[in-house]
Structure 1
């Protein structure tokens, strides 16, 4: 198969391309980027004669669609919602099946901080999302939505937990990319950048859709905080989690749950630091005047702080997941938990976030290319990767050193646990 990677010069996209280039059933990997130097660097790092470089601005529709015509599957690792939806529109038009890693369920576009996403006139966001889904179905396109770490792998494990129970009542996803404990001590907010810091701050500031009492409601940003000890893989790490707007597809595909929320995991102290920044107005987007210039506080803050959050030489990161599904099995209260603690590949030089996100997308793209995922339209990870396909997906990740621990046990904690 021939796979085309948009955003292939970034960390996530280049990691997906690296993995795809080493797969026997992939004969060519196209990397799309706007800059020649970035494309050459990515190709040199990947080091495979399967790589083909395409200098192309996704905003140029004609050239992008002609490029899509020459490939079997796409991987979209694009930086914002505007470009992600643009790529989806063109993929539908060219009947290119694709995997997208953005934290967005394209059937239900988020209405907060739209990042330049334009809804066609005369349509609500939901109507636009449904129209995309219907057009993709009509064109026989599989668009696997939010297929990275979280959303993606995390969705698949929540779906798995629900499938293992006779009935499920509540689910909580606790996921995050954090620096190693040693690295956290060297940086403000006990945090290092593993993906777009500006996009992470967006998630800290907008209301999050959650399920409460079987209804979709909006929860305040970073609410329902939880301290817990991660106990798996020989670890005993104290962590904190707060509600953010990730993994939104589960609100619609598993709407029979009474409770569901996704929470972002951080080291203790991070959320207190964010609270102080919010209270001071430093994360606001409303323009303000500073020394005769109009600035947006959050943009200014990112420009000052992001360099201090970049990993120092030798520092690593971790992808952590602790997901729980509560319900009944055989007439008894039961729960299913999934744990992940994945670090970087220091030999190859791939961060934990790039490995878990990029490799998850690459594995799923190959499943689409082999026609193992048959659903058409905008498809959520929990609907596409289940049953025997879930087992094969996990086997692929295990071979890459990404191991998820699954535990089924009687439930002794309250439903919120």
Structure 2
């Protein structure tokens, strides 16, 4: 019930279900430092002491079929006013949308992660060198896992520390193209959120924690009718989505929805 997965699933599912037939789906999300610093222009805002670097295959949908694609592929530029140029790379998509059957009829489905420009090139270089491999190597009679050593070495350089002046931001983008009422329609959701200076709360804590807490309140008051363990996208629909976005807005987290009709089909 956080941001990704969580809020981004709900928004993607809402846009898909608003269509008579969704055709192309792309969403992207990233938690980043406001001021990028070398060597990677990234800092660990959440998730412990290890960077989320995981070369390998991830699920996507291409030409209506589920396929496996290389993570860190299909890099595309992302521009946000007032911020350094960013890039988005393939990173799979939530299994919740697949298990709900929301991918049916979709021609293309891309889930991506956002980082500052140049991040993918640096990660691929590290991967080519074997420095983030999980395969142990022998060093003077001791088995060493390169990735574990990498995490130990890099952590002091990517540690996020508000006491040292670090501030974060969160970028979320959802774009769903499809057919509705005989027209080609594009539904987009955008969010750019920043560190809360007044309350000393990171953007990641706000966007993740507020989303989870608001959904929990819906459960607590009985607004969610389905029982048992449920994916947020299955139970947070219609008026509950509107309520969620309204309550986030009251807390300073603004998600903008744009609906564009391109042409009749």
Q: So what's the TM-score if we normalise by structure 2?
A: 0.91
Extract structure 1 runs of 4+ deviating beyond 6 A: none
- How far off is 1:386 after superposition? 1.2
Q: Which runs of 5+ in 1 are unaligned?
A: 1-146, 413-417
Do structure 1's residue 200 and structure 2's residue 44 form an aligned pair? no
Q: CA RMSD in A?
A: 1.8
Taking the aligned partners of 1:236 and 1:189, their CA distance within structure 2 comes to 16
Counterpart in the other structure of 2:15: 161
Q: Which runs of 5+ in 2 are unaligned?
A: none
Of the candidates 126, 134, 138, which is equivalent to residue 285 of structure 1?
134
Of the candidates 362, 384, 387, which is equivalent to residue 238 of structure 2?
387
Matches within 5 A, 1:2-401: 147-180=1-34, 183-184=35-36, 186-196=37-47, 198=50, 200-201=52-53, 204-230=54-80, 235=82, 238-253=85-100, 254-256=102-104, 257-312=106-161, 313-401=164-252
Whichever structure has more strand as a proportion of its residues is 2
Please say if residues 251 and 260 of structure 1, whose CA atoms lie closer than 8 Å, have aligned partners that are also in contact.
no
Please say if residues 224 and 243 of structure 1, whose CA atoms lie closer than 8 Å, have aligned partners that are also in contact.
yes
Please say if residues 326 and 411 of structure 1, whose CA atoms lie closer than 8 Å, have aligned partners that are also in contact.
no
Counterpart in the other structure of 1:72: none
Counterpart in the other structure of 1:123: none
- Greater relative contact order (CA < 8 Å, ≥ 6 in sequence): 2
Taking the aligned partners of 1:270 and 1:323, their CA distance within structure 2 comes to 21
- The worse-fitting range, judged by mean Cα deviation, of 205-214 and 153-162 is 205-214
- How far off is 1:249 after superposition? 1.4
Q: 1:190 to 1:316 in 2, by over 3 A?
A: same
Query: Secondary structure at the residue paired with 2:247?
Result: helix
Kindly name which structure, 1 or 2, has the bigger radius of gyration based on alpha carbons. 1
Q: So what's the TM-score if we normalise by structure 1?
A: 0.59
Taking the aligned partners of 2:198 and 2:140, their CA distance within structure 1 comes to 48
